[in-house]
Amino acid sequence: MYRVPVDALLGKKLNGHSHNEAREAIYNYLDLCNEQVYQRSKRRVSKARWVEWRSGIKDNLEKPLISGIWCEVKSNVPGSFSFLERLEQNEFESDPVRW
């Protein structure tokens, strides 16, 4: 399994080959984030854990490479990560338990 490159998490640009490999890892990361939001909506995640996860999701979605791929996913397959999209639309402030 390919992991999100550290350079992407540091906000650095990647070269062509690394960028292509990172795309798949970032897509998988977005899927994980969506699942984390879903799990919180079902009360399977504590409030304290949720606050930590939400902070990490928000911070990572602000990284240039991750943000760019996130925008690409939303425009090409809108609604595919509906829980994550809703969290973003609510500016990461709402608790999915209350949805």
Tokens of 85: 């999209």
38, with CB counted inside 10 A (0-12, 13-18, 19+), is middle
| Three-state DSSP string of 36-65 | HHHHHHCCCCCHHHHHHHHHHHHHHHCCHH
- The 10s digit of each residue's pLDDT in 33-47 is 999 999 999 999 999
pTM to 2 decimals?
0.89
- The 10s digit of each residue's pLDDT in 70-88 is 999 999 999 999 999 999 9
pLDDT band at 2 (very low <50, low <70, confident <90, very high): low
| Per-chain mean pLDDT for the chain | 93
Residue type, 32: L
